[in-house]
Amino acid sequence: MKILHIISQKPSDTGSGIYLQNIIKAFTDLDHCQSLVYGGEFDEKLKNIDVFSTYEVVFNTKKLPFPITGMSDIMPYKSTTYEEMDSSMIKLYEEAFKKQILKAVEEFNPDYILCHHLYFLTALVKEWVKNINIIGFCHGTDLRQMRSHDLKNNFIQEKVKELDKIIALHEVQKKEIQEVYNVEPDKIISLGIGFDNKVFQPIDIEKNDEIIDIIFTGKISYAKGIRYLIEAFSSLKTNKQLRLNLIGMGHGEEYENILSQSKNSENEIKFWGMIEQSKLKEIYNKGHIFILPSLYEGLPLVLVEALACGLRVITSDLPGIKPWFGDAINNSNMITYVDIPERVSQDRLKKNNEGIYIENIKRALSNSLDTLHHVNHDISLDQFTWKNLTFQLNDILKNMKKQRDIADKKQEESYEL
């Protein structure tokens, strides 16, 4: 089977990029031949991706003279938001991607095209490419883009409806997709996410229980709730020595403000930047508590990776997470959900609710510190592996092929008549 993957931004550094990388790895194990179209920057080498061929759309060049477009307004690298794109930028964007996508289709001749994000580029692919099954993957940021501004929204809705299948992260998101794009429910399949159980697992390493390490992994940005986390963590009073480990990168004024805010904390805060997964696994296994205070997410892969390494997890009560994890994990004392008070938008709290959220985070941290060793580590995460998810996706593709073969046969028979 020949599969062409398409993503409009860097295939690394973000949740959707990690999703893409792991799907490619798992499909490689199934002996599928794969190719990749992606957005990049000059002279940047692909990491952790091994495919038959690649087709890069290079930003910050004469033909595409602006930073790479990002599905989030704050990316871990310098980027262009879709909201700020004018008609000339849109035209250049279309021309650059069209050239590489049509070249990939002609040279690689894929059986299927897998497009990440139900947004502008996926809609364009559906417009440009005929007679190949196209599957779109929703990562959550695409829904936010559709609700935040109006860049070709009518065109995007029209073309997303024409996709052969859509992969949602969870059932709540499936309903959102139906509402935002007016898609028939039988086109949408909820698959969840996966984790690499060969990497994220308990290892024989000594914890330093003299320092309680609390860990966050993700973009260092306001939407991830980092300001509120730092405020809550800074005011924690305990007889234990605490350290907040922030793993990931931010960019621009928000990142600078967060760095500045952290300097006022009485408790230690450490910024790690971007690190390799092998190092991340080591930090998780040495740590005690993982926290994700995001105001908006699709389905956070970092939660299951942290659980797999034995961390006690605190997360904001985001739609879809509880039903995805199920009763066994939710009742294991390994995970605590933090209520998010009323917001003015998906990733912004009402001003007078910010203090409430800070107190909610602080209370969850305090309770987790007090009951740190009252947890049940005997939980199974087998259903959440990339291998399991990719087997399901592979079955979807095989079923699509079967239906296509039946349709082709019927058409041949009608010609004979």
State pLDDT tens for residues 372-408: 876 666 788 988 999 999 999 999 999 998 888 777 7
* Confidence band of 31 (pLDDT split at 50, 70, 90): very high
Question: What domains, with CATH codes, occur in the chain?
Answer: 2-194+385-416 (3.40.50.2000), 211-370 (3.40.50.2000)
Q: Give the confidence band of 365 by pLDDT, cuts at 50, 70, 90.
A: very high
- pLDDT per residue as tens digits for the range 78-107: 899 999 999 999 999 999 999 999 999 999
Query: Does 353 score more than 90 pLDDT?
Result: yes
SS (H, E, C) the chain: CEEEEEECCCCCCCHHHHHHHHHHHHHHHCCCEEEEEEEEECCCCCCCCCCCEEEEEEECCCCCCCCCEECCCCCCCCCEEHHHCCHHHHHHHHHHHHHHHHHHHHHHCCCEEEEECCCHHHHHHHHHCCCCEEEEECCCHHHHHHHHCCCCHHHHHHHHHCCCEEEECCHHHHHHHHHHHCCCHHHEEECCCCECCCCCCCCCCCCCCCEEEEEEECCCCHHHCHHHHHHHHHCCCCCCEEEEEEEECCCHHHHHHHHHHHCCCCCEEEEEECCCHHHHHHHHHHCCEEEECCCCCCCCHHHHHHHHCCCEEEEECCCCHHHHHCHHHHCCCCEEEECCCCEEECCEECHHHHHHHHHHHHHHHHHHHHCCCCCCCCCCCHHHEHHHHHHHHHHHHHHHHHHHHHHHHHHHHHHHC
* Confidence bin at 12 (pLDDT 50/70/90): confident
